[in-house]
Structure 1
Amino acid sequence: MKILLVITDYGSFNNFLAELAVNLSHENEVHVICSESNIIKIVDKFDYTKYDLTFHKIDIPRSTSIIKLIKSASKINQIIKRINPKLVYAHFTTGIFPTVFFKKRDIIYWGAFHGLGMNASSGVRKMMFSIVELFCFWRLDKIFLINNKDFSLVKSLSKRKAIKYTSCGVGCDIEKFDSSKFGELDKVAIKKELKIDDRFVITYTGRFVEFKGFDLVYKSFIKLNNEFPNKYILLLIGGKDSIHPTGLTEQEEVNLSENKDIVQVGYTSEVEKYLAISNVFLFPSKKEGLPVCIVEALAMGLPVITLDERGNSDIVKNDFNGYLVKSISKSEDITKIFEKIKYLSQHSNVAQLFSENSLRNRSLYSRDFFITEHIKLFNEFKDNEF
C-alpha cells in the first residue's frame, strides 16, 4: 500500500516520525513530504536509503500565512496526483492545512494536531487558527489529538472523527533515555567536559523561543544566580529559531552569551547524556501539544517544572513528579519558578521522591506505544481497503 506522510520540516520528521516511517516501509511504499529545513538539527536516526522510503522536499511555511500555505498546497497536490497514495497522514496544523486544501475524493486523509493553535492563542491569532483548523476538521477523515484539552474540544465539534493517541504523545526511546546507563564516573566525565563543577544543574531543551518560556528560563535563572552566586548552572540544549523571538532584550541576549554560568550545548543527538547530569528540568512552555522533551526528562527520572498548561499537565502531576506553575504574569511566573527551583535544591529528599515517582511510570513514556498503535491503525485501514 502507498502511504504519504506530510510534516512541516525534515528535522521534525527525523525527530518524531522516523521510527514509524521505517516500520511502515517494511510492508508498504512510504513517501514523505517535508521542507528542506532542519529546525531540530540532529543526525539522521536511520540510513533512509535502505528502506522503501521516498522524500519529496518542498517549502512548507511554519506560519499561518494563507498565501504561502496555498502555494505549498498546490505543490503537495501535484505530488499526491503523481504518486496516488491510498492514505495521506499529515502532521501539525501548518502541514495539514496545505495537504487537505486540494483534497482528492478517492484518497483517505488523516491529520495529527500536535497542539491546536485555536486552543493556545488569543485575539487575531486565535481567529486565524480557528478558521484554518476548522477547515482542516471538515476536510479530514480522521483527526488525531495528543492531549486531553485538544481532544475534548475536537470531540465536541466532530465526535465521529476525533481520536486521541493512547500513547504518551509520540513518546521517546526509553532505551536511550535511561539514567541507569550513566554511573557516577560517567557523570563526572560529562561535567568535566563541560567545565561544570559540582553545582545544581537546571536544564532546558528546545528552541529558544518566547512561547516555549525561554525568557522565563533565563530570567528565573538570573534571579537565582544573583541571590545565590556559584550555586546554580543553566544548561541549554537547542538553539534560536529564525522566525520566532526569544523574548529577551538586546542586552539580555548579550548577557546570555557572556554568562559563564550558562552552558549552551546547541542541538545534539545526545540529549540523554546532559539530562544525566541535571538536577531539574525546566520547561515553562505555554504552547505545547504534549512535549517530547518533558517525556524524555521524566524517562530519565528528572523532576520537571513547567507551566500548568495543556499537554504539560497531561504528564506532569503537581507534587508528584514535578511542579505545575499556574501562569498569572511573567513577573509572577519567574518568582514562582525561582521558588520551586530553590526549594528542590534545598530539599534533596523531595527531588529524590519526584525522581522515583517519574521512574515508576517509565514504561509509559516509550515511543514503542506510539509505533504499535499506528501500525495497528494502518493495518486496520489496509484490511478494510482490501
Structure 2
Amino acid sequence: MSLDQKKISNKKIIRTAAVPGSLYGLLKGQLHFLNQYYEVIGIASEGSVLKQVEDREGIRTKGINIERSISPVKDLVSLYKLYKYFRKEKPVMVHSITPKAGLLSMTAAYLARVPVRVHTFTGLIFPTQTGFLKKLLLLFDKIICKFATNVYPEGNGVKNDLLQYKVTKKPLKVIANGNVNGKDLSYFNPLLFSEESLKVEKKNLGITEKDFVFIFIGRLVNDKGMNELVNAFCKLVEKNTDVKLILVGSHEGETDVLPESTWNKLNAEEQIIWVGKQDDIRPFLAISNALVFPSYREGFPNVVLEAGAMGLPAVVTDINGSNEIIEHGKNGYIVPSKNELLLLKAMTLFIEDKEMLSAMANNARTMITDRYEQNFVWQSILKEYQQILPKVD
C-alpha cells in the first residue's frame, strides 16, 4: 500500500497521550501517515505543542488536560471530558500511549462504548517501585488491560514483564520488531555531515582529533545511570587522557535529583562536556565514537536507535529495549544495570580494541535499517489496524 494512496476509510481513530510532546515526539509523521487511511484525531493536554501537532500532521486535535501524576479530582474531571468527547465523536478506535492517558482513555472509551480500544505500553513503571506505590501502579496497568480490547507492548522486554506480573490474560503482540514509530533513516544519517563541519563542531567543544568521544543522551537523573556513568568516566580519565564524554540532556524540573557528590565530580571533570538539552542531537552523535547509556529502566529507548542509525556502537545496560536493540559483541556491549565496574570495563574495551569497535560500528546502522526503518513500522501498524478494525464493520 503506497503512501500516496487515497484515504480508503471514513473510520474515525483517536490517538491519546497525556502531554502533547508525546504525540509530537513519539509519533512524528505517523499520525499524518495514518490520516491518509482514516480520520485521525489527536488528544493531549492543551498547549502550543498540540497546535504544532495539528499543523505538522494535518489532523484535528482536542486539548483535554491529563495530569501525568496521580490527582484524583483532576483525573475524574479528565475522565468525564474524555467520555463526553468520545460519545460526541463516536470513533471506531481509541489508541492510547503513556500510562495516565491509557488509564483514563481506556476507561472512558469503555464507558462510551468505543468498539476498539487499544493501548501501547511503551514501558512499565511499577517493576522498579516498592510498597504501596508499586501495587497501585500495577493496579492501574491491570485496569488499562481490563478495558482495552487490544494490548501492544512496545518490545519483548515489556511483554515479558506484563506476563511475569500477570497484568493481563489477553494476547500480547509486539508490532514489527518493537518501537512505536521506527526511525527516519534519511534524517538520522551520518553522511549528512561533512568532514569539515565535524572538525568545526569538535573544535567548538574543545575536542581534538585524538580524542575518543563517548556520548550520553537523556535526562541527568539517577534513573538513567548518571551516578555510575560519572564515576566510571572519572576513573577512565585517570588512565586515558585522550577521551571525552558529551552529556546531552537537562536536569531541570526533575524529582529524581542527582546527589551533590555526583554534580561535584561532573562539574570538576574537564573531560566531561555538558551541552544541555538539544533540539537536534545528530551533530553530537556525528562527532562521537560510541554511545553510553547505563539506564535502569526503559521501554524501548529511542536514543539507542538513533545512535545506531548514525553508525555508533553502544554500551547499554541489560534492560528492556536496550537489550533488544543491541546484540552483545555485534553492535555494542551489554552490561548489568547499576554495575560501575563492568561499565568502566566495557568503556575501556571500546577505547583499546579498535578492531572490535570498527566491526561494531560497521554493523550499527545496518542493524537499525533491517529492523526499525520507519516506513516498515508504519506499514506494520496500518496492517494491524486493518486486521482489528474490520471486526466492527
The 1:53–1:255 alpha-carbon spacing in structure 2 relative to 1, beyond 3 Å, is same
CA contact (8 A) 2:118 2:148 kept: yes
Q: Would you say 1:344 and 2:356 are equivalent positions?
A: no
Shift of 1:37: 7.0
> In 1, Cα distance between the equivalents of 2:167 and 2:53?
41
For residue 317 of structure 1, what is the amino acid of its counterpart? Answer: E
Cα deviations across residues 130-180 of structure 1 (Å, max 9, x unaligned)?
A: 111111111100000122133235466645432212234132111111223
Shift of 1:67: 5.3
Q: Would you say 1:5 and 2:15 are equivalent positions?
A: yes
> In 1, Cα distance between the equivalents of 2:144 and 2:260?
39
> In 2, Cα distance between the equivalents of 1:106 and 1:211?
39
| Residue number among 239, 255, 274 corresponding to 1:244 in the alignment | 255
Q: Would you say 1:129 and 2:140 are equivalent positions?
A: no
For residue 140 of structure 1, what is the amino acid of its counterpart? Answer: A
Shift of 1:278: 0.8
> In 1, Cα distance between the equivalents of 2:375 and 2:349?
35
Greater displacement, 216-225 / 304-313: 216-225
> In 1, Cα distance between the equivalents of 2:193 and 2:318?
31
> In 2, Cα distance between the equivalents of 1:209 and 1:59?
26
Which residue does 1:373 correspond to in 2?
380
Which residue does 1:106 correspond to in 2?
113
For residue 234 of structure 2, what is the amino acid of its counterpart? Answer: I
> In 2, Cα distance between the equivalents of 1:122 and 1:243?
20
Which residue does 2:7 correspond to in 1?
none
The 1:78–1:45 alpha-carbon spacing in structure 2 relative to 1, beyond 3 Å, is closer
TM-score by structure 2 length? 0.86
For residue 200 of structure 1, what is the amino acid of its counterpart? Answer: F
CA contact (8 A) 1:64 1:128 kept: no
| Residue number among 178, 182, 185 corresponding to 2:196 in the alignment | 185
Greater displacement, 131-140 / 146-155: 146-155
CA contact (8 A) 2:183 2:373 kept: yes
Q: Would you say 1:203 and 2:210 are equivalent positions?
A: no
Which residue does 2:6 correspond to in 1?
none
Which residue does 1:282 correspond to in 2?
292
For residue 122 of structure 2, what is the amino acid of its counterpart? Answer: H
Cα deviations across residues 280-302 of structure 1 (Å, max 9, x unaligned)?
A: 10111121111111011112221
For residue 221 of structure 2, what is the amino acid of its counterpart? Answer: V
Which residue does 2:44 correspond to in 1?
34
Shift of 1:101: 2.5
> In 2, Cα distance between the equivalents of 1:319 and 1:164?
25
The 1:374–1:241 alpha-carbon spacing in structure 2 relative to 1, beyond 3 Å, is farther
For residue 187 of structure 1, what is the amino acid of its counterpart? Answer: L
TM-score by structure 1 length? 0.88
CA contact (8 A) 1:18 1:45 kept: no
- 1:211-230 aligned within 5 A: 211-225=223-237, 227-228=238-239, 230=241
Q: Would you say 1:231 and 2:242 are equivalent positions?
A: yes
Q: Would you say 1:268 and 2:274 are equivalent positions?
A: no
Shift of 1:98: 1.3
The 1:259–1:157 alpha-carbon spacing in structure 2 relative to 1, beyond 3 Å, is closer
Q: Would you say 1:144 and 2:144 are equivalent positions?
A: no
The 1:89–1:313 alpha-carbon spacing in structure 2 relative to 1, beyond 3 Å, is same
Unaligned runs of 5+ residues in structure 1 are none
Shift of 1:336: 1.5
Shift of 1:339: 1.6
SS at match of 1:18: coil
For residue 222 of structure 1, what is the amino acid of its counterpart? Answer: C
For residue 117 of structure 1, what is the amino acid of its counterpart? Answer: I
Shift of 1:229: 6.5
Shift of 1:338: 1.4
CA contact (8 A) 2:29 2:57 kept: no
| Residue number among 349, 361, 369 corresponding to 2:367 in the alignment | 361
Shift of 1:120: 4.2
| Residue number among 246, 261, 266 corresponding to 1:256 in the alignment | 266
CA contact (8 A) 2:20 2:50 kept: no
Which residue does 2:96 correspond to in 1?
90
Shift of 1:48: 3.5
Cα deviations across residues 210-268 of structure 1 (Å, max 9, x unaligned)?
A: 2222232222222223x14642222122212524314x223533553565432233333
The number of aligned residues is 376
> In 2, Cα distance between the equivalents of 1:222 and 1:75?
51
The 1:44–1:370 alpha-carbon spacing in structure 2 relative to 1, beyond 3 Å, is farther
> In 1, Cα distance between the equivalents of 2:39 and 2:28?
15
Shift of 1:73: 2.3
- 1:277-316 aligned within 5 A: 277-316=287-326
CA contact (8 A) 1:11 1:37 kept: no
Aligned-pair identity in percent equals: 24
